[in-house]
Structure 1
Amino acid sequence: MSEERRYERPWAADERSTLVGFLEFQRDTLALKCAGLTDEQLRRKEIPPSDLSLLGLVRHLAEVERGWFRNVIAGDGVRLRWGTGSPRASGFDVEGADVDEAFAVWREECASSRAIAAAAESLDVTGVHHTGRVFSLRYVLTHMIEEYARHNGHADLLRERIDGSTGE
């Protein structure tokens, strides 16, 4: 798997650029883990008893982007695309899922998240979660890095089981 298409993380930058850079790197990592696979391979659940698939991870991370950036930071109140509950459990069911739609929605949500983060005057901008808790943009960016890193570990295992590809 080639690493040359991933975002170059800043080595010496301000806090915002560093957080955004690490998040972009994680987004690119997910895309690379999915690159070159067939629809059937993206749907495969390769690590029983888990129901995780690469396609499910893409759909789930689209929901998480949507929930944290659009709903919490921007206050848009948009509904989930593929679930009725929390983004935490949404998107993983890939039965009948359209691969092209999933990737298009994920890219759209990433673009929306980028725009929301860029428009915020500082990392101290806050928004209200559906639980009533208040979160800063700093927290959301850090949490998203954590979310992607955890799921990219899953993606790494899934991809290796699918075709033997490994790499960061």
Structure 2
Amino acid sequence: MFRPGAPLEEIEQDVEAMIIELVHKLGRLADSDPEQVGASDRAYIKAFSDAESNSDTDQGALLATAVGRPNLAESLIYLNRRLDQDNLDPGQPTGVIGVIVRLAMDGLWVSDILDATRFDARERARIMNLLTALTRVSDDQLKAMLGAPAAKPRGLDKPA
């Protein structure tokens, strides 16, 4: 992707093209998921689940360039903001799980860039399986996990 001594404009074009292709890949993966609810989040997991490709030098360069020039990552930023807006809709309590899953995958991606050997295959599969399972949690399951607010014991709300 980045050739040694490439002019900045060429590097910027490469970064922007990579990010646009990633956004398209996410769309294709989500569209191919037979279960619509959580499909975008499972696509995100799949797209960022390969430690080897996450840790290659192009990904490190991509991260450094995108941090230094966020305008190049506009398509991914827009996608995440659109998904966040949908996920943070109060009418859909489990939507927030999508935000958490994507943040976890972003963290795993950066972790892979820094140390691709941090998790062995078994540990990584366990992480991916849990994140994928979270994308299928229903509103009722989330309410049960969080528990109902504890009721005050009777008589404790009166002055002594």
TM-score, normalising length from structure 2? 0.31
Structure number having the greater helix percentage: 2
TM-score of the two chains, using structure 1 as the length reference: 0.30
